[in-house]
Amino acid sequence: MRELAGHPEARAGAEQAVAVANTRLNRIEQVKKFWLPVEKWGPESDELTSSWKLCRREIHLKYGQILDGLYTL
């Protein structure tokens, strides 16, 4: 995952997907910044429950600084 998330083609593919999605959203709803996690998320890594729902508390604890950076201009 680390190699894939850091690969320029993976980043370009994600940027293209975001650009396509943004065409269907109002300006205020559009994605301005995004981040590709470098680790696989799953129940064993605490980001997801056993039923594959997000564990928001764990995500905030592990990635809070990164996520806060996405909301700063």
Q: What is the pLDDT of residue 25?
A: 97
- Whole-model pTM: value is 0.71
pLDDT bucket at 1, cuts 50 / 70 / 90: low
pLDDT tens column, 12-61: 999 999 999 999 999 999 999 999 888 888 899 889 999 999 999 999 99
Distance CA 60, CA 64 (A): 4
Q: What is the pLDDT of residue 5?
A: 75
73: nearest Cα among 22, 32, 37, 36: 32
Q: DSSP assignment of 4-64, as one string?
A: HHH-HHHHHHHHHHHHHHHTTS-GGGS-------SS--SGGGTSB-TTS-B-HHHHHHHHH
Q: What is the pLDDT of residue 51?
A: 94
